[in-house]
Structure 1
C-alpha cells in the first residue's frame, strides 16, 4: 500500500534500508496558490534567457517532432493517424524535457548548465523513467482504443444534423477529459522526481497524483497553460515550440520544486 514518506527515508542513506513494503510511498507536497503557475513561468523565462543555446536546442527538437506529426497527418490524409502520432509525441516529450529539467537544476545549484550534461540526464534512474514511458504508452493506447469504440456513436449519414453528433461529441469529450486529467495527474511531477531523487516509478506516480489532487486550482491553471503552449506550437507549424516547450520544461522543474516538499522538510 502507498504510504507517506518520512524524513528518515532521505537521511543516512547508507544506514537506512528501504524494505520492499516501503516502495510506492507518497512524498508530501506543499500547498501552492492558484497564481503560482505564472510565477513558475516567470522563473522559466529567466532560465530561457540565461541558457539560450540549450533552450534553442531542445526547442528545435520539439519543433522537429511537431512538424513530423503534422507532415504525417497531411501525407496520410486521415485523422486516424493523429492519436498514434500523439502517443509517440507523448513518449518523446518527457525524455526531451529531462534535459531542460537538468539545466534548471544545474542553475539552481549555482553551476554552469551544459548541453552535454543535460543530455546525460536520461541516464539518471533510467530504469524507472523507461518504466514510466511504458505506463504512458499503455494509457495512450487505451485512450486510442476508447476513441475507436466511440466511433460507433458517429452518425452514419453524411450531412447529418448537429443534434445527431451530440452523443459522439459529448461522450468523447467527457471520456477524453477524464483520461487526460488522469495522465496529467500521474505525470505532472513524476519525471523530475525520478531524475532528482531516483525514486521508483510507483512512488513518483503516487506523489505526482497526490500533489495534483491537493492543489487542484493551481494545477488546472498549469494544465491550461501547458495546453495553450502545445496548441500554439502546433498552430504555428512547430515554430512556436522553439519558445513554448523550453518555457514549459523549465516551468515544470520550478513547479516540481515549489510543490513537492524538499528532502529536509518534514
Structure 2
C-alpha cells in the first residue's frame, strides 16, 4: 500500500459534487449486480423485520427508533459483501452470491476490533437515549402509535426529539467518521484497523463538508427505506454500500493498488 511520509495512506480532497458521483456509481453497480444485490438487501430486511417483531412482542417497541439509529451506526460493517461486490465489478468480473455472503478477508481480528468499537459507541447512544427518554416523560409508551403521538403532539415529546437528535447526531457522525473509509479499506488484508481508522478520520477531516453531505444522504436514504416498512432497504441499502466502495476508492488513491494486488 502506497503511504505518505506519515506512514499513512494519502487522502484525496474532493468537492461537494463527489457524494452525488458516488451515489450515481453505486446505482450503476447495483444495476450490474441486480440479483446478488437484491438478495443481500432482502436478507437485511428480513433480519430487520424479525428484530422489530421481537421488540413488539417484548413490549419494547419504544426502542425501535434507538435500534434504527443503531442500525445506521453498524450498517457499514454489514455492507462488507457489497464492498466485495464493488471490488469484483471493478475487476470486470461477475459477482457470485457465495463470495458476497461469505467475504473471507472480512473474517479477521481487525474487523472484529472495529465492530467492537462501534458496539461501544452504540452502547453510549443507547444509554443516552434511555436517559433522554426518562428525563422527558414519566409515562410509559407501550405501543408505537402512542410513542409517535407523544413525539408529535406533546411539548415534552418535542423536547425529547430535539435533544435526542442533537446528541444522536453527534454520536452518529463520530461513528461515521471512524468507519466510512475504514470498513471498505479492511477488505485489503494488508491494512490494519488502526491505519484504516486513522485514514477514515483524516478523510473526513480533509473533506468535512462533502463527507457531511455524504452522511446526510446516507441517513436520508436509510430513513426512506425504513419508512416504507423496511421494504425500501432492499434497494437503498445495496446502493449505499456500493456507493460507499466508490467513495473509498475516490478518497484513498492507494486503494487502486490494493485492487490490483487483490486481483
| Residue of structure 2 in register with 1:11 after alignment | none
**Cα drift, residue 196 of structure 1:** 2.4
> Once structures 1 and 2 are overlaid, which stretch shifts more, 95-104 or 249-258?
95-104
| Residue of structure 1 in register with 2:203 after alignment | 211
Kept in 1: contact 2:73–2:172 (CA 8 A): no
Q: Distance in 2 between matches of 1:124 and 1:175?
A: 31
Measured against aligned partners, the alpha-carbon deviations of 1:187-217 in whole angstroms (never above 9, x if no partner) come to: 1111111112532112111111110121111
Match of 2:193 among 190, 195, 201: 201
- 1:6 has 2:6 as partner: no
Q: Distance in 2 between matches of 1:59 and 1:168?
A: 32
User: Which is higher, the Rg of structure 1 or of structure 2?
Assistant: 1
Measured against aligned partners, the alpha-carbon deviations of 1:67-107 in whole angstroms (never above 9, x if no partner) come to: 12332333233344436744874686334411111111011
| Residue of structure 2 in register with 1:39 after alignment | 21
Kept in 2: contact 1:87–1:137 (CA 8 A): no
Within 5 A, what are the aligned runs for 1:49-128?
A: 49-82=31-64, 85-86=67-68, 89=71, 93-124=75-106, 126-128=108-110
Kept in 2: contact 1:125–1:195 (CA 8 A): no
Instruction: Give the structure-2-normalised TM-score.
Output: 0.81
| Residue of structure 2 in register with 1:18 after alignment | none
Kept in 2: contact 1:101–1:250 (CA 8 A): yes
Q: How many residues align?
A: 245
Gaps of 5+ in 1: 9-21
**Cα drift, residue 258 of structure 1:** 0.5
SS in 2 for 1:195: coil
Task: Return structure 1 stretches of 4+ with deviation > 6 angstroms.
Answer: none
Kept in 2: contact 1:30–1:258 (CA 8 A): yes
Residues 31, 155 of structure 1: CA spacing in aligned structure 2 closer, same or farther, 3 A cutoff?
same
